[in-house]
Structure 1
Amino acid sequence: MSTVSPAASLSTMQLETAVTRSWKPPIGLGIFAAISILFVVFSRPGTTGFSFSTTADAIQLPVVRVDAPLAGSIAALLLVLLTAVSIYLSWSARRTPVWLIAIFAVIFMFGFLTWVAAGSSLDVLVTSLLVGAVGLSVPLIFGALGGVISERVGVVNVAIEGQLLAGAFVSALVASATGQPLLGLAAAMVAGVLVSFVLAAFSIKYFVDQVIVGVVLNVLVVGLTSFLFSTVLAPNASVLNSPPRFDRINIPLLSEIPILGPVLFRQTIIVYIMYIAVFLVWFALFKTRWGLRLRSVGEHPQAADTVGINVTGTRFWNVLLAGAIAGLGGAYFTLGSVGAFNKEMTAGAGFIALAAVIFGRWDPIRATLAALLFGFASNLQSALSIIGSPVPSEFMLMLPYLVTIFAVAGLVGRVRGPAAAGKPYVKS
């Protein structure tokens, strides 16, 4: 009988502890904590006002004014303390919790906005900032939900960008021709399904590399929609590219709640569908038999096949479902926010949605929160340009993409996606 010495056991335990440590979160938080110190070193005199009400609110909240140098100092101190906590957790081989990162983000944003708007005659319109963030996040959330379903079932969905763009184009065309935005919404789902059908056929049936198929589909949809826009929509814009947009629906009582009312309950029907979709995808994935089958196919298709699950069929139909959900996100561009279709109007939203899937650890709720973060970063550049930010405009244009890269590379830590994602299944 073999024995293991105490020294060898101790070495094994130390090795396991070292392997489970992840220094990405504390390093990422440390970078932002160091940036926050600049708010103190280069403090700007004056006060900053924060407005939490809109002119349409029944309940008007007072404007809160804070001393900019003092608020910046307190924010920097708190951020350094939270970074120290993250370092301690990583040293103890424990994961930095999401709530700590969320609190860190809120404090940093408070300090940053206080520094930017110090001495300005314009207040920081917090409610308007959040409303804009939700609006920009809607297509990202739909795309992320589609990505979660697709990758959970074992197919890497790089074609989210193409699904969003196809949904935007078809919804504008159908809604303009019929005058019915609901028909445009349904057509957008069909367009997303068609793009997903090509992805599923080549990657599942013919075993073509899923990433390559997704990239090619994105290029194909961009080229096709740009060509049809120039040759069909632009010459007949009044008939084929003037879609009616959904009106905002105020939910009684809920829409009058300060801050939350304007942000969440004065939205279009597409946003309310998004709320339902997030809950249904989460519930179905983790609380139903369908979700169990889907996740088993994405984790261990051989075992799923052994117990009688049709791996190919499960993957195929769920990839189509993912495309339909992403198509809804594309419809938001033309039926909920922008209006008329323009070339490449998604502007990389599909890739940011894919980053939200990874940052959200392939979980619908986490991916939704990640998409909201990226949407907030996108809206922040517009808000700061109105206030008169001292930050260069070129940097502000890069902000959403910098936040995306930093979140995925710096904060996501050690994660593992579905084990069989990206791997074709050949029935033995």
Structure 2
Amino acid sequence: MTTLTEKTPFVPDPDAPVVTSTKGLLKTPIVFGVVTVLVALLLAFKSREGDTTFRIAADTDLFELPEITVPSTPSLATVIVLLAVCTAASALLASRNRRTPLWLVAVFAVLAVVGFLAWAAAGEAVPMVGLLSGSIALAVPLVFGALGGVLGERAGVVNIAIDGQLLFGAFAAAMFGTIVGSPWGGLVAAMCAGALVALVLAFFAINYFVDQVIVGVVLNVLVIGLTSFLFGQVMTENPTGLNDPPHFSRIPIPLLGEIPIIGPVLFRQTILVYIMYVGVGLVAWALYRTKWGLRVRAVGEHPKAADTVGIKVNRTRYTTLIIAGLIAGIGGATYTLVSVPQFGEEMTGGAGYIALAAVIFGRWDPIRATLAALLFGFATNLSGVLSVIGSPVPSQFMLMLPYVVTIIAVAGLVGHSRAPAADGVPYRKG
């Protein structure tokens, strides 16, 4: 039998340019234009008097940075002009059949956020350190879920069951963390719970060729029902013995944690955040720099070609999905071992679907998917911060904000993505 080293199936470079139609290239400038109009409507809707202060320092920083104070209405007007310039530049690039570069998208996003904050927080101070560090914390389950989604889909299996893996992981972490009296015990239980959901998905999708989307949705509903039943029948009967897990505390890293802005945001977090940093790099390295990663991408792109060179397609998909479930389970543990003191029914709030959107937005790449998850985490924390400082934006819109950002992001850039060729396609040998 031919070995992998003798003959390797072709696996497309994920960073290679994607051939995109002019219609697809127009998506980004259209979204830019819509966002620019929405920001301009803020000025027309209600002019806000006063100055907005951006606090960018913390008390424990190595040295203190001054606050930045800007006039609300003039700042918003300036931002609108700059957004219009970015929109025009994106439209010009599309007319020349060129893709809008990522840096221009990032600049546009930052300008839109700054303009919105300058308007919404007029007369108030925005704690930027708290906003950003809270965004990292809220994005942790999304990042782990997105990493699990990237691995599954790179292997050719659509992992719709991310939300079920997160929720079951949160439940297992709360119960077993309470029983053993250790957050580490809860973390291991969460990983096993996520892997169990992934194993069930793999069994039906790989062995019996059941539609992967249907299996994933059913598993999500099943986990919701199961955890809600056990919560009502077991946990509520003995909350101190089954639903009172110890928590991971914040671990500031010496020196690094004292750097202004960067330190409080990145290096004064819990151990799960540091595991996330390592996990993102490890998954990216394994996927693109190891023989195992080559095999995973091969079975996701062309399973028949992979089979002809001796790769066990279904076994590779099984092991990859189980690893993906283990990773997603860590994200579930974040809810009950870091965020809240106990498990609650449907506490993930559909975060698995946002993680799946991050996979698509990130073009099935672990680094890009992580950045997308951080964006959605920022949107979630932004809604909470604006509610605290008394923003004029209705509370209902604040609750919608993370999902609106998800829709805008995916609608604007998904046209530039190409999923693995065999994603969602069962492999029948022979």
Bin the TM-score by the shorter chain. Answer: over 0.9
Q: CA RMSD in A?
A: 1.3
Q: Which residue of 2 aligns with 1:246?
A: 248
The residue identity in structure 1 corresponding to 2:247 is R
Q: Deviations 1:158-190 (Å, cap 9, x if unpaired)? A: 000000001000011111011111111111110
CA distance in 2 between counterparts of 1:326 and 1:17 reads 32
Q: 1:172, 1:304 → 2: CA distance?
A: 41
Corresponding residue of 2:423: 421
Distance 1:177 1:343, change over 3 A: same
Partner residue of 1:89? 93
From 13, 25, 32, the equivalent of 1:22 is 25
Paired residue for 1:190? 192
1:91-240 counterparts in 2 under 5 A? 91-118=95-122, 120=123, 122-240=124-242
1:351-370 Cα shifts (integer Å, max 9, x gaps): 00000000000000110010
Q: Secondary structure at the match of 1:124?
A: strand
Q: Which residue does 1:370 correspond to in 2?
A: 372
Contact 1:167–1:331 (8 Å) recurs in 2: yes
Offset, 1:309: 0.4
Tell me the equivalent position of 1:267.
Answer: 269
Summarize the Cα distance change of 1:254–1:295 in structure 2 as closer, same or farther, 3 Å threshold: same
Deviates more, 1:62-71 or 1:24-33: 62-71
**Identity %, equivalent residues:** 60
CA drift at 1:18: 5.1
| 8 A Cα contact 1:21 1:91, kept in partner | no
5+ residue gaps, structure 1: 1-15
Residue in 2 that maps onto 1:32: 35
What's 1:341 paired with? 343
Determine if contact 2:24/2:415 at 8 Å carries over to the other structure: no
Partner residue, 1:61: 65
8 Å CA contact 1:51–1:64 kept in 2: the answer is yes
- Report how far residue 60 of structure 1 moved: 2.2
Deviation (angstroms), 1:27: 0.4
Paired with 1:285 and 1:17, the residues of 2 have a C-alpha distance of: 25
Counterpart CA distance in 2 for 1:392 and 1:175 is 38
SS of residue in 2 equivalent to 1:50: strand
2:205–2:215 Cα contact (<8 Å) kept: yes
User: Helix, strand or coil: the match of 2:25?
Assistant: coil
Aligned partners of 1:20, 1:33: CA distance in 2, in Å? 20
Secondary structure of 2:52's counterpart equals: strand
Question: Which residue identity does 1:89 align to in structure 2?
Answer: L
Task: Give the match for residue 324 of structure 1.
Answer: 326
- Kept in 1: contact 2:360–2:410 (CA 8 A): yes
Counterparts in 2 of 1:279 and 1:18: CA distance versus 1, 3 Å: closer
Instruction: Return 5+ residue gaps in structure 2 as ranges.
Output: 1-18
Mapped to 2, the partners of 1:313 and 1:270 lie a distance apart of 30
Instruction: Note if 1:301 corresponds to 2:339.
Output: no
Q: How many residues align?
A: 411
Shift of residue 54, structure 1, vs aligned partner: 2.4
Deviation at 1:39, TM superposition (A): 4.3
Q: Is the 8 A contact 1:21 1:93 kept in 2?
A: no
CA–CA distance in structure 1, aligned partners of residues 413 and 24 of structure 2: 13
Q: Take 1:224 and 1:48, find their aligned partners in 2: how far apart are those partners? A: 47
Q: TM-score, normalised by structure 2?
A: 0.93
CA positional deviation for 1:17 = 8.2
Q: Distance in 2 between matches of 1:19 and 1:390?
A: 39
What does the per-residue CA deviation read over 1:315-339, in whole Å, with 9 as the maximum and x for residues that have no partner?
A: 0110000000000000010111112
**Distance in 1 between the 2:20 and 2:330 partners?**
44
Determine the structure 2 residue equivalent to 1:385. 387
d(CA) in 2 for partners of 1:19 and 1:86? 12
Question: Which secondary structure does the structure 2 equivalent of 1:419 belong to?
Answer: coil
Give the letter for the 1:277 counterpart.
G
Q: Could you tell me whether the CA contact under 8 Å between 1:148 and 1:363 is conserved in 2?
A: yes
Tell me the residue number matched to 1:47.
Answer: 51
Deviation at 1:235, TM superposition (A): 1.1
SS of residue matched to 1:402: helix
Aligned partner of residue 426 in structure 1, secondary structure: coil
Q: CA–CA distance in 1 between the matches of 2:318 and 2:24?
A: 37
Q: Which has the larger radius of gyration?
A: 1
Question: Partner of 1:4 in structure 2?
Answer: none
Is this contact kept in 1: 2:20–2:416, CA < 8 A? Answer: no
Residue type at the aligned position of 1:79: L
- 1:145, 1:325 within 8 Å by CA — same for their partners in 2? yes
Partner of 1:7: none
- Whether the 8 Å contact between 1:20 and 1:93 is mirrored in structure 2 is no
Q: CA offsets, 1:408-428, max 9 Å, x none?
A: 122333321011010000001
CA distance in 2, matches of 1:351, 1:186: 23
SS in 1 for 2:53: strand
* Per-residue Cα deviation, 1:5-29 (whole angstroms, up to 9, x for no partner): xxxxxxxxxxx98557521100001
